[in-house]
Amino acid sequence: MNYSGNIIRPPSEANSIILQVTVGCSYNKCTFCGVYKDTPFQLKAPETINADLRFAQKYCRGQKRIFLADGDVLILSQKKLIALFDKIRQQLPWITRISLYGNARAVRNKSAEQLATLKSMGLDRVYMGLESGCDAVLHSVRKGETGESMTAAGRKITAAGLFLSVTTLLGLGGTALSAQHAIDTAEVLNKMAPHQIAVLTLMPLENTKLGREVAAGTFTLPSPFEILQELQLLISHLQNVRCQFHANHASSYLPLSGRLPRDKDAFLASIATALHGSTPLVPDYRRAL
């Protein structure tokens, strides 16, 4: 397979064929993300994508799912996406699930009918980065969205019958907005009703604006125990959400994984134990993005 730059995929796509369709991110303004800072957004050459499909056709017959990378494939025109999905169906007919990242802007660019068409052609799962439901946090990190606009995008995905996986980012509000960040994020998730919630923890990168703010002391990162309190607030404010819940990313201080609402009390009990010092946290040297 021909890969360019950093290839980012969700943990649940570890066993999928990773087909890189675009390079970079069409927005690329978030202050916390350093993945694509020096990478102009572009669609990969058709001949390269075709070569990768031929490779997958020959060597990836044991993999039933395909993930379309990089971070912004849904932003492509409907015409390009339909052509791509047609190629996947023709050359990899055994594929049972197509997944991709889709930001709220890309979702807004698609009508309900267009999303339904993509679903009929194999699209099954959309991963969307909410990061925060707090408007003040979203504004400060230049997400270009509000809690309301993110909610609308999430609902649009589920209305099309697609599986919605949403990512949130603990610590993104710093110490100043920590509690509001957690509570407002839970409220947006309650309204959005995703099928899966993935909770990551902020690890500032040197090549980002937020990383420079941390270094300069103008952004105060919550301590590990404050991050746990934030996670506790987030989970405690989730109401009537039935979904997979994963806070076991490599960036997490306290890995948690299960289902809501079934495991809510167990999650809160685990956090309480950790806050009392009875459960060791993952040390920083073992955490990663």
Provide, rounded to the nearest whole percent, the portion of the chain with pLDDT above 90.
92
Listed in sequence order, the residues at least 6 apart from 69 whose beta carbon sits closer than 8 Å to its beta carbon are 7, 8, 9, 18, 19, 20, 21, 22, 101
Would you state the pLDDT for residue 71? 78
Question: pLDDT band for position 172 (50/70/90)?
Answer: very high
Would you state the pLDDT for residue 245? 98
pLDDT tens digit string along 14-66?
Answer: 999 999 999 989 999 999 999 888 888 999 999 999 999 999 999 999 999 99
Q: Give the class (CATH, top level) of 11-284.
A: alpha beta
Angstrom CA distances, 169 to 50, 117, 123, 148, stand at 35, 31, 26, 18
Average pLDDT, the chain: 96
pLDDT tens digit string along 52-84?
Answer: 999 999 999 999 999 999 878 999 999 999 999
Higher pLDDT, 72 or 189: 189
**Model confidence at 237: pLDDT above 90:** yes
As a whole number, mean pLDDT of residues 160-180 equals 98
115-140 burial string, b = 16+ CB within 10 Å, else e? Answer: bbbbbeebbbbbbbbbbbbbbebbeb
As a whole number, mean pLDDT of residues 108-120 equals 96
SS3 assignment for 113-142: HHHHHHHHCCEEEEEEEEECCCHHHHHHCC
Reduce the DSSP state of residue 97 to 3 states and report it: strand
Would you state the pLDDT for residue 6? 80
What is the model's pTM? 0.95
pLDDT tens digit string along 132-141?
Answer: 999 999 999 9
Would you state the pLDDT for residue 72? 85
Handedness of CA 154, 148, 132, 242 (dihedral sign): negative
Asked, as a colleague might, if the bond just before 52 is cis with ω within 30 of 0, I would say no
As a whole number, mean pLDDT of residues 120-128 equals 97
Yes or no: say if 107 and 128 are a contact pair by the CB < 8 Å rule: yes
**Model confidence at 234: pLDDT above 90:** yes
As a whole number, mean pLDDT of residues 126-155 equals 97
pLDDT tens digit string along 197-228?
Answer: 999 999 999 999 999 999 999 999 999 999 99
Question: pLDDT band for position 278 (50/70/90)?
Answer: very high
